[in-house]
Amino acid sequence: MKRLIRFVLVGVALTHADTLPAQSRLVEAFELERNGRFLEAARLYRQTLRSEPTSLPALLGLERVSEPINQQDSVLFFVKHALELAPENRFIRTIELRSWAAADSPDSLNAAAERWIAREPESPDPYREWAFAVSQRGDLIEAQRILTLGTERVGNSSLSRELAQLWVVTGEWIRAAEYWADATRADPGQAPTAALSLARTNPTNRDAVIRALASGAPEDPAQLVAANLLAVWNRPLDGWVMLDRVLPEDPAVALGILRGFVERVRRLRGPKSAKSRGFALERIADLTTGSFSENARLEAARAFAEAGDRDVAERLLSQITVDSTVVTPSQAGAMASLIGVMAASGRVDEAEDRFAQWSDRLLLGDVSNLRVAMAWAWAEQDSLDRADAIIASDSSISAMDTKGWIALFRGNVKDAITMFRAAGPLVGTRQESTRRTEMLALLQVVGTDTVPEIGSAMMALHSGDTTTAVGELQSTASRLRLDGGRAEVLSFAGRLAYESGDFENSERLLRLSVDIAPEGPTAPLSSFTLARAMLDSGRQDEGIERLEDVIIRHPNSAVVPRARRLLDQIRRAIPQS
């Protein structure tokens, strides 16, 4: 009974639909389609087309719903009728091509395309849509043939973009670049799309792609694509040089291109990226006026400061009239960068002077960072008192960390421990944090308040003299008790020697460390480093045996996963990374 009622209701609904005006029928058809009731939607689309044979929304709707209900053939009847009434309609021609492709009738598809071409011999549209319909069936070779044919017959570059995209899909990067170059010459606005499309070029083809794009005249807009690709492929300075050469004269167009380049290189790291960003920002500053220009110049100064190019940064800053009472965040940031560059380059006195003038206008975070930077700069010049003085009143965790290292450089183990503990585990990079924690662990087992040799060893290490540092540490170890950190200091020295490539010394020190405390806290790491030294010296069997020993003897050590991974790499059980 229920089924009968439902049948009657559906019947009423359909009868009702028959009487609806065409517009309402379309709205109802869309709604049915949206709810996945494709059969009913198809019926309404067909009804609409009977009264309005050239209704594009109805034709498109019927095309959409015909696929899920497997009635693609039915679209063709309405398409043919529509074309009889509106043979010039390109949209209907496109639907016809797609419908033949969906019906898996290549001969009819080709014939329909040729009919369209015969009507519009000068237009690239029929070739474009024909190739698209063919490519949807996965036949990319045929699609390429059609587009090439279209290019020959139409006689211009209007299909180059599509050809380029097809070559990208098939991995023919150089051909793709050649067609993108054509497309960009015809329409420079295609440059960003071309760069995006070619960005996935595999590394071996990148130089050839750049050559294909940069082979034209100096003002060839295809070089814009090459410049952007160089920026994406981590060659920002090469990219800038090329961009600078072909930048259009129209300021509005040039500004758009420059801003795009700045954003692209901002994602990269390193001084080359910062420098190329600085060049582009300086050019933006030259092309603009007022606060836009000033901000761009400040940003450029900051970029050059980041790149370590202090002279250019200072030159740019000197071009800006800074109101001493009103300082924008970007001006303050630029100045902070400059002071940081001065400190890092050893001009600490000058940096301190500039800092004194500006400290009340700098951001709070920058103030603390600059104090720490200047303290490290003094420490590197062996002026530990001046280093201490500049951060004496600073209670930030970065300052605590720096105070800890300065205390350690003086050999003051007790204060170093206190400061490192106060700094906690979160200061600095992951590497800095690990090094601090490692040092804290080492100092805690030494158990003596003052050990000047450790201080001079760490100072030597900080200045890059690992050999002296290892020697000092070894000498320190010999004066420590067996249970007073001797094994730990030897282990540390051995690992430093390993990192500096002195495998022989490293092995000797690490063996001593393991022999003194085979179950001690540093034994797993010493053994692991010992294994690496053996492997790096070409003694594979011994290295493997030592790695296995680490895993078996210290199963709960954090070193074990690293030991297992190294074993996997040696045995080629995992891909070589």
Give the three-class secondary structure for 412.
strand
Nearer to other proteins, 139 or 244 (CB): 139
Q: Does 463 bind other proteins (CB under 8 A)?
A: no
At 193, which helix (H) or strand (E)?
A: helix 191-198
Q: Does 577 bind other proteins (CB under 8 A)?
A: yes
Q: What are the distances in angstroms from CA 220 to CA 41, 161, 183, 215, 236?
A: 52, 17, 12, 9, 20
Do the beta carbons of residue 264 and residue 237 sit within 8 Å? no
Do the beta carbons of residue 289 and residue 304 sit within 8 Å? no
Give the three-class secondary structure for 139.
coil
Q: Does 137 bind other proteins (CB under 8 A)?
A: yes
Q: Does 572 bind other proteins (CB under 8 A)?
A: yes
- Per the structure block, which two tokens stand in for 143? 């699609």
Cα(57)–Cα(552) distance, rounded to whole angstroms?
72
As a whole number of Å, the end-to-end CA separation of the chain is 69
- Which one among 187, 388, 565, 570 touches other proteins, defined by CB under 8 A? 565
Count residues near other proteins (CB under 8 A): 28
Q: Does 73 bind other proteins (CB under 8 A)?
A: no
Work out how close the CB of 64 gets to other proteins at its nearest, in angstroms, rounded to a whole number: 14
Q: Does 42 bind other proteins (CB under 8 A)?
A: no
Q: Does 203 bind other proteins (CB under 8 A)?
A: no
Give the three-class secondary structure for 327.
coil
Nearer to other proteins, 105 or 448 (CB): 105
Q: Does 551 bind other proteins (CB under 8 A)?
A: yes
- Which one among 252, 482, 552, 558 touches other proteins, defined by CB under 8 A? 552
Which residues, in sequence order, are CB contacts of 114 under 8 Å at separation 6+? none
- Which one among 9, 141, 196, 363 touches other proteins, defined by CB under 8 A? 141
Q: Does 380 bind other proteins (CB under 8 A)?
A: no
Q: Does 68 bind other proteins (CB under 8 A)?
A: no
What beta strand segments (E) does 258-392 contain? none
Work out how close the CB of 136 gets to other proteins at its nearest, in angstroms, rounded to a whole number: 6
Question: Which stretch in 83-91, 165-173, 375-383, 430-438 sits in contact with other proteins by CB under 8 A?
Answer: 165-173
Q: Does 142 bind other proteins (CB under 8 A)?
A: yes
Say how many C-beta atoms besides its own lie within 10 A of residue 27's C-beta: 14
Which residues, in sequence order, are CB contacts of 320 under 8 Å at separation 6+? 294, 297, 298, 301, 331
Nearer to other proteins, 144 or 412 (CB): 144
Work out how close the CB of 568 gets to other proteins at its nearest, in angstroms, rounded to a whole number: 6
Cα(571)–Cα(170) distance, rounded to whole angstroms?
36
- Which one among 138, 203, 218, 538 touches other proteins, defined by CB under 8 A? 138
Name the residues that contact other proteins, by CB under 8 A. 102, 136-142, 170-172, 202, 548, 551-552, 555, 560-561, 564-565, 567-568, 571-575, 577
